[in-house]
Amino acid sequence: MSATPQYAVLQKDGGRPGAEQIRRAFRSFSNLTDADAVRLAANAEGILLRHLSSDEARAFLRALQAEGVAAALVPESQLQLLPESKALHRLALTGSALEIYDLRGHPTPVPWSEMALVAAGAVRRVELGPNQAERMTARSHSVLGIWSKKTVEPVRKLESDSQLVLDIVLFGGATRYELDAAQFPFKYAVDRPELSTLEKFVWLVREIGNRATQAILNRGASDVRNGVHLVRGYPSRQAFADEMVWLLWNAARRTA
């Protein structure tokens, strides 16, 4: 028996809807609260709710449209836009390409023109206590922690910090590279030991953003390219990924 299709509700533009608009749209849903509306309005990265049934998605879409929010209903099957990431172990920048090295030190040039998306962010990382992860039995109704059912018990955060992450997606959607600044040897790209990890990361993101002129930039990468010396924060890895998915989906929609 085939699985029941699931749907997502996405914004049609890049501006975040207001908390009051979301709060009024939530009135028709008994399991969504005013606090959920505030959280969604503050953290939405293009994708508002995911993993909904057809009826739930259509009801939420109508409620948003009644509040003046431009939104679209999209099958989840159409949002599988991010391939599995490949870790970047070493790289160098040339005039024509980003040279990516494998663990044996062999370079592969990736022309700047092949980059479809460059995304950077300070992504919040949360570690859970023993057995806490398996207690999260509820399915998330959205990327922001709005649950369709109650969790068995609250999840206790033992440690929360941010990691500097850079993702590069190539045209065609088959390849995605990922860089974790805390684990990355920057000296091959920028040999300036007096700089902090943050400063090296910002330099690298700005250089890539300036050279990959055809690439879409997420908010974090766009900030850096425009001269900001700090990296935009994201509340979760899922929110960071959802922004990338929304950017790719929106670009394809506009092209079509």
Classify residue 63: in a domain, yes or no: yes
For the chain, give the percent of residues with pLDDT over 90. 74
- Identify the residue with better confidence: 8 or 256: 8
User: How would residue 160 be classed by pLDDT, with cut points 50, 70 and 90?
Assistant: low
d(CA 170, CA 177): 9
Are residues 46 and 13 both part of a single domain? yes
Question: Which H/E stretch holds residue 130?
Answer: none
Are residues 99 and 217 both part of a single domain? yes
User: How would residue 133 be classed by pLDDT, with cut points 50, 70 and 90?
Assistant: very low
Counting the structural domains of the chain, the total is 2
Domain coverage including residue 50:
7-79
Closest CA to 145 of 43, 22, 10, 19: 43
Are residues 40 and 139 both part of a single domain? no
Instruction: Tell me: pLDDT of 14 over 70.
Output: yes
Give me the chain's average pLDDT, please: 86
State the alpha helices, DSSP H only, in 46-142. 54-66, 132-135
Say if CB 135 and CB 246 are below 8 A apart: no
Helix (H, G, I), strand (E, B), or coil: what is residue 115?
A: strand
Classify residue 161: in a domain, yes or no: yes
